[in-house]
Amino acid sequence: MSTHRGGGGLHLPPLNALRSFEAAGRLGSIRAAAAELYVTPGAVSRQVRALESWLGVALFRHEGRTIRLTDVGARYLRAVTEHLTAIADATGQVSGRWRPEEALNIRSYTLLASTWLVPRLNRFRRSQPWIELDLVTSSNPADFGRGDVDAEIRPAASGPWPGSDADLVVDADLVLVCSPSYVAEYRLAEPADLKRLPGDGFLRSAASPHLWQMWFDAVGLDGVTVNRGPSFGDSTLAYQTATAGHGVMLAPLPFIEPDLASGRLVMPFPDVPRPRSQFYLVYPADRPHRKAFTAFRKWLLAEGRPTLRASA
């Protein structure tokens, strides 16, 4: 890299102008760059014009309301991006906020993580041993969408997610399950038998309050009130309560297949219509994809593919 010096110092354009140019060039939009930088579109346009004036070249062609990099602008963007990234990495290392390429932070809803994702993670670690995965779980919707992780695994009902891309990971049957002893105690043979259950027999997750009504609509059952039963802040507690024989709950089929196979849980109504339960991998649309995230995303989508084939 050659460095031009003038007056005893580096001959550099203003940093704000470079940041505005890099964002506009990467995103292909003045308005998107302004949103990312938390300034007005007019401010980005002024910074880009100032940089073009400083350089003495045109960096963009304006086509109506859209912009397109000139050949010179495209070459300059590649160089600017490389060196701004290097500055950001160096700053992060000095400040202690630098993240190595192998670090990956994922947030997931607790029930999906504990029953579906964690049992599969050994395969991921064997295939990608270089990745340092930090998996954070929560059943509180307020914990999601803060932008402090690389990606989140979220239920479809929590969308839409403005400014994010999303990949469908799990698309599965939503089924009613309980313990064998609970079936025998309340003689559950058809959905209408649920009307005999006590008010605390319907186990609910605070993270997914809509599931019971969705299931009732699918099976054509009305006249059942479920708002008197316990509501669990952590959906895994509802799951544990069901396996202990204290009520019925709803769960995506792949999450409870091991317990169905062992007999800890049963589906008292296996032939009723089943609504779908969907989970997405959600990640920022405008953030460059790091190597660790790209590898995790590819692996996760492959793991979820059987549920997508089953829904077809």
- HEC states along 54-86? HHCCCCEEEECCEEEECHHHHHHHHHHHHHHHH
% pLDDT > 70, the chain: 91
Q: Do 205 and 265 belong to one domain? A: yes
Q: Do 220 and 252 belong to one domain? A: yes
pLDDT digits (tens, 9 = 90+) for 70-121: 999 999 999 998 888 778 767 766 654 545 678 899 999 988 998 899 999 9
Instruction: Please answer whether residues 177 and 256 qualify as being in contact, where contact means their C-beta atoms are separated by less than 8 angstroms.
Output: yes
* Total domains, the chain: 3
The confidence band for 312, taking pLDDT boundaries of 50, 70 and 90, is low
Q: Do 53 and 186 belong to one domain? A: no
Q: Do 48 and 88 belong to one domain? A: yes
Alpha-carbon distance of 156 to 135, in angstroms, equals 20
Alpha-carbon distance of 44 to 25, in angstroms, equals 11
Residue among 232, 216, 224, 312 at smallest CA distance from 273: 216
pTM: 0.65
**Domain boundaries, position 295:** 103-171+277-311
Q: Do 247 and 236 belong to one domain? A: yes
Strands 231-232 and 204-205: parallel
Q: Do 261 and 305 belong to one domain? A: no
Mean pLDDT of the chain: 86
72: domain CATH number is 1.10.10.10
Q: Do 72 and 113 belong to one domain? A: no
